[in-house]
Amino acid sequence: MMNRTIAAIATAVSPSGVGIIRVSGDDAFTVIKRIFKKKSGHFVFENKEIESHVVTHGFIYDDSELIDEVLVLTMKGPHTYTGEDTVEIDCHGGVLVMKKILETVIKYGASPAEPGEFSKRAFLNGKMDLSQAESVIDLINSSNEFARENSLKHLSGVVKDKLSKIRAEILHEIAFIESALDDPEHYSLDTYPQELRKKVELFIKDTNSLLKNADNGRILKEGIKTVIVGKPNVGKSSFLNALIGEDRAIVTDVAGTTRDVLTETITFDGITLNIVDTAGIRDTDDFVEKIGVEKSKEYMKDADLILFLVDATSTFGKEDQEILNLLENKKSIVLLNKIDLGQSLSLEQVMEKVDHKVISISAKEQIGLDDFINEVKQLFFHGEVTFNDEVYITGVRQKQCLISCYQSLTQVLNSIDQGMPEDFFSIDLMNAYTELGNITGESVGEDLVNEIFSKFCMGK
């Protein structure tokens, strides 16, 4: 596959000012020589050496047919994104124009690129490790400032450098154990278990420094899965409309209006909330509404945050208590809504019944929304989201590798405490070494590599 010269549209396939067609591989320059001409019809690179990292003006032709006026950027490997000879054609951003140029490039020697194949080649050619490659798609999909900055940190190699250091130190210990077992006359293991314990404890500390932020990293990258719940007509839809600043949810005085879920994404101060407005939870004989109630309960199970709305103009009744019972062991905020209409239920009365933070709000008058936002920050990020030097692991795959590494290192400590032979230390150290290598891509198989890059967009 690596001997193919590949091509794809690298920009969105939609009308725009400029479109880019990317070509990479051994024949990239050969292809551009065949189709890139001056307006007079003479080939631009016919009788001269192609220079690297130079932009040249000209026209794309299919034989004698003029396709478009373009700028061509030629870059010689290995000093390119993929490590290969690369050509980028900057054309007018019409969909038909971009597709026509891509068809011409393929006609004259290139092959269509698979999703993520440019980044896959960068990985296979040693231009980036797997954690950096995964950060490329994270950067493209970033929905807030934190996700963008964290992806750039990963892309710069921060995670790679940190893990490479730990792996090198683990490998040193493995090599020492193997050498001592093979040549006990020259290597003594008498005090080694105690020395190894101190080093493994440091390895665990370094691993935990990445692992402890993994959940927050996922939340900051993907957003907080937030579910709004409450009995019917408590103001859930009004609260959602207040947060997003427009009337997206239907608001009426009729209980049971919301029968299906409505999802919205909002971002504030670097935090993204993926909000689900659910059907009011109550006992009902209405078949359709009953389905909506069951859906509400299902969404609550998977939520990172539950917003429980209580009606300040009513009493804390049986339906409220049933919902409260569903909040056990879940991060939740109780919102006492409709305080602008006169309260039958006070903040203090609600606080006596619940173990969660209670905030008085008026969705209609947008009272208390700042207090709500501050409480979300406090609940997830101890009051403040900071873009500091902390490295956040954001991928589920990377987190699982760190967990497996931690477990292997912990097993080394257990083996030391139990007085096990040194070759037991070596086995678990090697497992930890391999798991960290799975993050950077040094220990992964071809199938996993293909799966990861298949999730990339076509031109990346």
Q: What is the total count of domains within the chain?
A: 3
Residues 233 and 376 in one domain: yes
Residues 227 and 209 in one domain: no
Q: What is the pLDDT of residues 213-271, one digit of tens each?
A: 776 677 777 788 899 888 888 888 888 888 887 544 333 343 444 445 577 888 877 67
Whole-model pTM above 0.75?
Answer: no
Residue with tokens 């194949």: 117
Average pLDDT of span 61-77: 95
| pLDDT band at 386; cut points 50, 70, 90 | low
What is d(CA 206, CA 224) in angstroms, rounded to the nearest whole number? 26
DSSP letter, residue 280: P
Q: Is residue 14 part of a domain?
A: yes
User: How does 80-117 read in b/e, with b if 16+ C-beta sit within 10 Å?
Assistant: bbbbbbbbbbbbbbeeebbebbbebbbebbbbebbbbb
Residues 370 and 449 in one domain: no
- 355: three-class secondary structure by DSSP: coil
Strand order in the sheet with 357-360: 262-268, 271-277, 224-229, 305-311, 332-337, 357-360
Q: What is the pLDDT of residues 154-176, one digit of tens each?
A: 788 888 888 999 999 999 999 98
User: What confidence score (pLDDT) does residue 1 get?
Assistant: 59
The CATH number for 232's domain is 3.40.50.300
Judge contact between 220 and 150, C-beta under 8 A: yes
Altogether, the residues listed in the chain come to a count of 460
Residue with tokens 């209580």: 310
Question: Encoding tokens for residue 362?
Answer: 């008026």
| Residue 392, C-beta contacts closer than 8 angstroms, at least 6 positions apart | 150, 213, 214, 216, 217, 220, 221
Q: Which of 34-48, 99-113, 375-389 has the lowest mean pLDDT?
A: 375-389
| pLDDT band at 391; cut points 50, 70, 90 | low
Q: How many CA atoms lie less than 13 Å away from 416 in the CB half-sphere?
A: 23
- Structural domain of 13: 6-113
The dihedral through the CA atoms of 364, 367, 368, 369 has a sign that is positive
Residues 183 and 303 in one domain: no
Q: What is the 3-state secondary structure (H, E, C) of 39-68?
A: CCCCECCCCCCCCCCEEEEEEEEECCEEEE
Q: Is residue 160 part of a domain?
A: yes
Of 41, 33, 112, 105, the residue nearest 74 (C-alpha): 33
Q: Is residue 120 part of a domain?
A: no
What is d(CA 36, CA 249) in angstroms, rounded to the nearest whole number? 54
Judge contact between 414 and 175, C-beta under 8 A: no
Q: Is residue 126 part of a domain?
A: no
Residues 369 and 412 in one domain: no
Please give the residue that has the higher pLDDT: either 22 or 315.
22
Give the distance between the most distant pair of CA atoms in the chain: 88
Position 130 pLDDT exceeds 90: no
Residues 241 and 332 in one domain: yes
Which residues are registered as beta bridge partners of 264? 275
| Residue 144, C-beta contacts closer than 8 angstroms, at least 6 positions apart | 220, 223, 267, 270, 271, 272
Average pLDDT of span 409-425: 93
Q: Is residue 329 part of a domain?
A: yes
What is d(CA 427, CA 278) in angstroms, rounded to the nearest whole number? 50
Residues 376 and 291 in one domain: yes
Question: Encoding tokens for residue 136?
Answer: 């490329």
DSSP letter, residue 444: -
Q: Is residue 244 part of a domain?
A: yes
User: What confidence score (pLDDT) does residue 73 get?
Assistant: 97
Q: Is residue 194 part of a domain?
A: yes
% of the chain beyond a pLDDT of 70: 88
User: What confidence score (pLDDT) does residue 338 get?
Assistant: 93
Write down the mean pLDDT value for the chain.
Answer: 85
Q: Is residue 22 part of a domain?
A: yes
User: What confidence score (pLDDT) does residue 95 get?
Assistant: 95
